[in-house]
Structure 1
Amino acid sequence: MAAGERSIGEGSAVGSGLILLFDKGKRPDRADLLAALSDQPRIAISHDPIAVERLDPVNGGALPNDSDIDWVELLADGLTFDLLGLRPGPALATPEVGYLFNVQVDREEGSEALGLYPGPHIAQGAHALPIVRTLLGIGAALVRSLGGVNAVCWPPARSAIAPKFFAKTTESWLIGGPFPALGLLGIRFDGQGALCSEGLNFFTDCELWLDPALCRDRTAATRLAVRVVQELIGFDLPESACEFATEDGTILKLEPDRPAGLLRIFPA
């Protein structure tokens, strides 16, 4: 962690947050946030520790604690989330990035991060879809309203996503469109040519693995993986092997491999 960067407290769901990257010195402060939320009626600041301290007669209007100057609690859909890293407090550390979606991230250039995390009361349920949907919805609203966001990072997949692409795909999902797999999942091909996902286990406890025989056309393999993911998100995983048909009628076999933490797909 670089000097001046903030660590995440014990109450937050550390691996379940959404990170917004800004140029150095361009992070928003409270005034910027208030202006951004003025056209977002479904999102409100439900707790501001600075405002509370200034109203406290015992405190007598003293300056707030350093630990309070960089965060507020946001309320949306009846759920609370902590927004950390506001100026003039310390920025969050830029997360490790393994997958890029229409964006470039250079950790050496001095990006500064804001983080949105499920609050302490809902942190244990951070993997639940209603919480994830609200978290991402707030993130999309902030991308649209704050300005200056260079990239959106999703640590469970080690991904960095172009802000407009993130907002568009998230908003589409929230109104009934497809799950934004390209961004919330990383996809790579291993040394044997098999497709492997990264980040699906955040939602399903398993990653996806496609047999190399299905990956000779990597674009087609990626499309197949995205289609399978659409069928998995929000549903119980199959307990035993099953077969399914692709759009062109090809029959494939899906086999859970619980010890390996994988859902394997083979030609039938």
Structure 2
Amino acid sequence: MPELPEVETTKRGLAPLIINQTVVQVVLHRANLRWEMPKHLITTLANQKVNAVNRRGKYLLIEFDVGTLIVHLGMSGSIKVLDKEEPCLKHDHFELVFDDGKSMRLNDPRRFGAVLFSKDGSHKLLDGLGVEPLEGLFDDTYLYVRSRKKQQNIKAFIMDSKVVVGVGNIYACESLHQASIAPERSAGSVSKKRYQVLSQCIKNILTQAIDAGGTTLQDFSQVDGTPGYFSQTLSVYGRENRPCGTCDGKISRITQNQRSTFYCKQCQT
């Protein structure tokens, strides 16, 4: 699933291509993705100029004078900007055609993504989100304070979007490994000092992933069609039974909260 680094990569690639461009046509190639796509977008966004492209958690926010287009990439989505004459692919479900002859297309084979709209920029999917891990509120005490008396495992805790946004499964595994913390530990049992280390590791891992263009395992690609290269530097994710790069142990895989967790039993405690 595209997480914060993939969505941030998409935002950065998209912004210079569509900001200040005017929509001349909105095309809904199907009625719904995860939810029904608002049909009024065809008229609401007609002749509207893109003012900004932002991100909140895993949501892309495309800003217009009339409101905000909210786009979620789901489990398999990606966005590309092409010449409008390029034929659409099978899973191109939503399209914005601009006055410069370019077309922004959301491709989502599994259709778990979303295209939504808000007149004032607020939405129930955004309102309950936690802090951004690469911004100031996510300091070296934030996780420690929020974790007190929490019995859930620490991996589930840092993946909770109501606590902190964008730390998906891959990045949680990598951050916990870099911080030498076992994913099965209860969140409330981890010391303040170790949370300070983990907070910095989360920032480091997410920043490295953004710099690498995200992680491509199956479907994700950047706006220009290239894959994300962070997968080439993964330390634990998808490396079951392979040597740990930190110690002489091996990477193990367990299931937590219906997701695969990869870690080293020897150096993560």
**Comparing both structures, which one devotes a greater share of its residues to strand?**
1
TM-score, normalised with respect to structure 2: 0.32
TM-score, normalised with respect to structure 1: 0.33
**Comparing both structures, which one devotes a greater share of its residues to helix?**
1
